[in-house]
Structure 1
């Protein structure tokens, strides 16, 4: 099945906060397209999967640890961000596993995915990106931006959003207890 190619951007450098915000706006656009029954929903969900996995993995591997080391954020903020990424991956998996991109079941899965991603974007911008802006020097944000962009792009190039990979990521999150219901928002 041929589908519409969707541009996820290929940043190579920049302030990490701005690069993350650019991806946040891409998430919002992709979610709008996923809700639109006239769009190529299969292409959109695959693009969203690639972006979500690449973005979250790059943040968890490089951004959160660096901001924690720089005392811009605490352990709680980083752990909560990882928990919300895991929730988003679970909801993403639910959307990817559906055989049809039409109907009530798909719409409900997309609604849950949208709710979780939008909550995370708002919270991350307030509790992680704002502290990074105010307490990390610009050269360090630029250096981190290059690392984030390189990892993000490499993951997208490696087809990180494929169904089998998202399943493995969700299984790993379950093993690590990141999907426990006890986590508070």
Structure 2
């Protein structure tokens, strides 16, 4: 099995990319608006693919913590709301930008940490490798679909937040 197709590996790769994009959004030497645009698209596509395809599949495994999965969905909502608040700031680098970026970073890094320790470790321990590979393909396909639909636009993020 190719590790790149494993759902755990695919999710972890997105997590590392999100952390890098958060660092770029903090730096005055980076194109912070471009980093926010990339972050918004990845966060929404990633979360939507997890909630639509992966979390329901993981809940069916007896030893995967369903409460942790449901909590993960709640944390996606918190992250999406914090993302929208940052996207609505008028001036990149302003005090308001820094405040909203801190709120986004706090929500997202908390979620990444918890998801990796609970849901992903549960998947590693309880989901057979073959099924993780299948779920990886499903996750990546669904994520690509959301990315192609411009899920990171402010209108799309607003729609996701309203639908929560």
SS in 2 for 1:17: helix
1:72 Cα offset (Å): 4.0
Which of these residues, 129, 134, 139, is aligned with residue 138 of structure 1? 129
Aligned Cα RMSD in Å? 1.0
Which of these residues, 155, 158, 169, is aligned with residue 149 of structure 2? 158
Structure 2: stretches of 5+ with no match in the other structure: none
In the alignment, structure 1 residue 123 sits paired with structure 2 residue 92: no
Q: How far apart are the structure 2 equivalents of 1:84 and 1:40? A: 27
Q: How far apart are the structure 1 equivalents of 2:44 and 2:130? A: 26
1:42 corresponds to which residue?
33
1:30 Cα offset (Å): 0.3
1:69 corresponds to which residue?
60
Structure 1: stretches of 5+ with no match in the other structure: 1-12, 174-185
2:49 corresponds to which residue?
58
Q: Return structure 1 stretches of 4+ with deviation > 3 angstroms.
A: none
Q: What count of residue pairs does the alignment treat as equivalent?
A: 161
Q: How far apart are the structure 1 equivalents of 2:83 and 2:62? A: 31
Q: Which has the higher helix share?
A: 2
1:39 Cα offset (Å): 1.0
Q: TM-score, structure 2 length as denominator?
A: 0.95
